Amino acid sequence: MSEADGYFNEAVAADYDTSSAEMFQPEVVGPTVDLLAELAGDGRALELGVGTGRIALPLARRGVPVCGIDMSHAMTSRLRAKPGGEAVDVTIGDFATTRVPGAFALVYLVFNTINNLTTQDAQVECFRNAAAHLAPGGSFVIEVGVPELRLLPPGQTAVPFQIDATRWAFDTYDVATQGLTSHYVTLVDGRPQYRSYPFRYVWPSELDLMARLAGLRLRHRWEGWTRSPFTHESRQHVSVWEKPAS
């Protein structure tokens, strides 16, 4: 594994689009890009954790100038190889701290990417980095799941989220540290392969406090990209924080 690429190395990048195929469906990508394009308006957008370009590429096709930051050479090489990949200006680095030139109307993190930062300090720095890139009046958007702790009975730490004939996947939680590890067991040619990835889960209220520390204020919180209301039963949220205009 390349240290620079972290957990998103060549082996992961090679089948990322296939293993996450449901996230590339038009009914998922379309509403996401619709809302992000609206928030970007006539300005530029910056994606933190741009990956293989699932959202950056269709957003650029809408006419929004898009830049991206990502630590993985393997993932971003897939982005550059796709049609239109040259339109997305990618910088290799840690999206919690890496700066790119200019100001942006929109900075965004999708598909639980904020959880890839495995300490609270790193997540706080991410908010500060986003705020530093935003022009006054700009928006910072995060899509992330609500921690599934309600599914854990006393003494249990694991929650399965995928079970089929060739793939088993489950999350394990450490509530003392807000640690979350996703585990995958996949049958390949009849032989099991195991992978695991560490994350840090984060609560909506905790994100709001991080935003306040960065000088941002909550503008919207929805259950998803179609702007359905966020409730106590919601399993994910799309939150929009705003940098004050003055």
243, 215 in Cβ contact below 8 A? yes
Q: pLDDT tens, position by position, for the chain (246 residues)?
A: 344 567 788 988 888 888 888 999 999 999 999 999 999 999 999 999 999 999 999 999 999 999 999 999 999 999 999 999 999 999 999 999 999 999 999 999 999 999 999 999 999 999 999 999 999 999 999 999 999 999 999 999 999 999 999 999 999 999 999 999 999 999 999 999 999 999 999 999 999 999 999 999 999 999 999 999 999 999 999 999 999 997
Of 109, 176, 190, nearest in space to 142 by CA = 109
Domains belonging to the chain, first-starting first, are: 10-147+202-242 (3.40.50.150), 149-197 (2.20.25)
Q: What does the pLDDT read at residue 137?
A: 98
pLDDT at 3 (0 to 100): 45
Q: What is the pTM of this model?
A: 0.94
Contacts of residue 25, Cβ cutoff 8 Å, sequence gap at least 6: none
On whether the CB atoms of residues 64 and 37 are closer than 8 A, the answer is yes
Q: In the prediction, which pLDDT does 2 show? A: 40
Strands 134-145 and 236-242: antiparallel
Amino acid at position 33, single letter = V
At CB < 8 A and 24+ separation, what contacts does 33-40 make? 33/58, 33/59, 33/62, 34/225, 35/141, 35/225, 35/227, 35/238, 36/64, 36/106, 36/108, 36/141, 37/62, 37/64, 39/105, 39/106, 39/139, 39/141, 39/240, 40/64, 40/105, 40/106
Q: What angle do CA 15, 19, 20 make, to 5 degrees?
A: 120
Predicted local confidence at residue 1, as pLDDT: 33
Q: What gap in Å lies between CA 178 and CA 6, rounded to an integer?
A: 20
